[in-house]
Amino acid sequence: MSGAGTGHRPENLPLAAVFITVAFFCVALVAALAKLSSQYTSTGVILLVQNVIGLLFITPSALRGGWSSLRTGRLGLHVLRAATGTACWYVLFFAITQIPLANATLLTYSAPLWMPLIAWCVTRQWVSRSTWVGAGIGFCGVILVLQPQAHNFSIGGLSALAGAVFLAVAMMSVRWLGATEPMTRVLFYYFLLSTVMALPLAVVDWQPFPPQAWVGLVGLGSAQLISQVLIVVAYRYASAEKVGPFIYTVIVFTALIDWMVWDHRPTPATYLGIALVIGGGLVAVRSRSGAAAGPRNQVSPP
């Protein structure tokens, strides 16, 4: 992410690539710790703890400029970003309890493939043919991972796919907010509103959990916070058009974690699906980057 108030330095793409790669490793870690924590407590509780930890850390930084620094004329857009981000994490956390971690993450992080379609539906903005081709290639990969030849779509797969749509809207709202809002303010409102939205889910879903569960829950929230901070730092050293494609490293990381921890070896269809989603996504991202002439794009997990 980038935005006013973050500050920009001379371009250093290798350093930006390191920051963004570590950021998406942290995102993969969030998903893995959520899967581990799900054996102790509910999805709603996991989501609440994640957001509370982020809120506790971001609030002092957000208040450094006084309460006036939190004034915004784009509250509706902040609510949209928080709502879609919260929904994305909720359905992803649910999906990883139903299907392999790698499959759930791959489906959810196919979000960039949905962005041209959503942008066209909302703004009727022209989308290049190569962008549609890239998205089409990626959607073929999504279908392979869903494996419709089994004659049924699992609830976990459909949930992860819904997460992709939510994530796409969240990513686009971050881009729109970044045109006018300092990134600290964006993060503050995201964690604040997401905490409020997650609270009733946690109350309804409440399950007592043992003390050892706090290790995974605190680790999950910390990994989420670190990923957000590293993304901000990465965008100080390179434009989003150049580092945005690194979002797909989260798919590779989660596949490795899923293999090493849960012994879920990707099937040949999953390998091919991963290749198509990443390849199609890169084509679509490069096409949009070449046509972009407005504010710097921003790609971020919710």
CA dist 190 and 55 (Å) reads 9
- What's the rounded mean pLDDT across residues 160-180? 84
The amino acid that residue 34 corresponds to is A
Lowest mean pLDDT among 71-75, 104-108, 281-285, 290-294: 290-294
What is the chain's length? 302
- Residue 195 tokens read as 């905490």
| Cβ burial 216-239 (10 Å sphere, 16+ → b, else e) | bbebbbbbbbbbbbbbbbbbbbbb
* Position 301 pLDDT exceeds 80: no
Q: What is the pLDDT of residues 83-116, one digit of tens each?
A: 999 999 999 999 998 888 888 888 888 887 787 7
Q: What is the pLDDT of residues 226-280, one digit of tens each?
A: 988 888 788 778 766 677 677 888 888 888 898 899 888 877 877 888 888 888 8
* Position 29 pLDDT exceeds 80: yes
CA dist 296 and 178 (Å) reads 8
* Position 156 pLDDT exceeds 60: yes
Give percent above pLDDT 90 in the chain.
27
Q: What is the pLDDT of residues 51-85, one digit of tens each?
A: 999 999 999 988 887 888 888 888 899 999 999 99
Confidence of residue 149 (pLDDT cuts 50, 70, 90): very low
